[in-house]
Amino acid sequence: MQLARALAIWFHQAFGKQGTAFKAGAFVIPTDPSQQLRELTTQIEQLKAQLQDANGQVENNQQLVALVAREKDTYMALAEQMDMEAKTYEQLALDTEKHLNEERQAFEARLKKLQAEIENKPQQTQQLSGKLQKASAQLSLNEELTRILIDQQLIAAGWETDTEQLTHQKGIRPEKGKNKAIAEWPALGNQVADYVLFAGLTPIAIVEAKRENTNVAGKIPQAERYARSFKPSPMMQSA
């Protein structure tokens, strides 16, 4: 959503009347109806990780069993709520789709008209190109947005990852038979590596995410330090 917002701002600055003078307000994260379920899932993963790190019994732990039961009940309640909302808004969705189709046709007609005008007026083409360049110059992805792009690249390469959910702090650990890119892995000096790539229980690489316009070559020693200070857990050593 943040990445889509950044692109929408670029669009307004490139094609809107205000140009690069257009300034968007602060990004407000919408309410997540599944937040309670996510918190329960995080507690379960954290407890599993604590038991694994301590070589404890995961399957028979009473606290874990109770949390899983709560997670199941919360999931069922959320599913019922979503089903009721889906039935309530089904007609609204159909009406909205019809309206969107009408708007899409109008937009396509307008776009064709603009393209014809631009082809016949080279000066307008140059002005538009200048606006695009100015808007693009202001489009700078920070590290958080850069991670979203890296997530997609890692997923496309066959890794299971989510920079917000699959983190060490939330109890995510490597598993046999799974390729995981786990975010925020503890490193030397109370620092964290952006991602550690695990093929099963074996750590094979550390990935650092840096915002655009950062000197990448100058940050390679940071990743090297993290790699040298990496300490396998007892679970990894016994694999």
Residue 150 has pLDDT above 80, yes or no: yes
- pLDDT given for residue 92 in this prediction: 74
Q: Are residues 180 and 126 in the same domain?
A: no
Q: Are residues 133 and 159 in the same domain?
A: no
* Torsion angle of C-alpha atoms 13, 14, 19, 20, degrees rounded to 10: 60
Residue 176 has pLDDT above 60, yes or no: yes
Q: Assign 127 a pLDDT band (cuts: 50, 70, 90).
A: low
Q: Are residues 35 and 117 in the same domain?
A: yes
Q: Assign 231 a pLDDT band (cuts: 50, 70, 90).
A: confident
When pLDDT is averaged across residues 72-81 and rounded to a whole number, the result is: 81
Q: Are residues 130 and 102 in the same domain?
A: yes
Return the sign of the alpha-carbon dihedral for residues 154, 141, 3, 124.
negative
Q: Are residues 61 and 168 in the same domain?
A: no
User: Mean pLDDT across the chain, nearest whole number?
Assistant: 79
Q: Is 74 helix (H, G, I), strand (E, B) or coil?
A: helix
Domain with 27, as residue range(s), is 2-138
Residue 137 has pLDDT above 70, yes or no: no
Residue 202 has pLDDT above 80, yes or no: yes
Q: Assign 222 a pLDDT band (cuts: 50, 70, 90).
A: confident
- pLDDT given for residue 77 in this prediction: 80
Q: What is the pTM of this model?
A: 0.50
Q: Are residues 16 and 128 in the same domain?
A: yes
When pLDDT is averaged across residues 88-101 and rounded to a whole number, the result is: 76
Q: Which of 17-26, 153-162, 170-179 has the lowest mean pLDDT?
A: 17-26
Residue ranges of alpha helices (H) inside the chain are 2-15, 35-53, 62-88, 90-120, 122-138, 143-156, 216-229, 234-237
Q: Are residues 122 and 197 in the same domain?
A: no
Domain tally, the chain: 2
Residue 95 has pLDDT above 60, yes or no: yes
Q: Are residues 202 and 90 in the same domain?
A: no
Q: Are residues 194 and 216 in the same domain?
A: yes
- pLDDT given for residue 198 in this prediction: 95
Q: Identify the residue with better confidence: 131 or 27.
A: 27
Q: Which two tokens stand for residue 53?
A: 């790190």
Q: Are residues 31 and 54 in the same domain?
A: yes
Query: Exposed/middle/buried for 95, CB within 10 Å: 0-12, 13-18, 19+?
Result: exposed
Q: Identify the residue with better confidence: 204 or 138.
A: 204
Query: What crossing angle do the helices spanning 122-138 and 2-15 adopt, rounded to 10°?
Result: 150
Q: Are residues 101 and 180 in the same domain?
A: no
Q: Are residues 150 and 224 in the same domain?
A: yes
When pLDDT is averaged across residues 38-53 and rounded to a whole number, the result is: 78
- pLDDT given for residue 136 in this prediction: 61
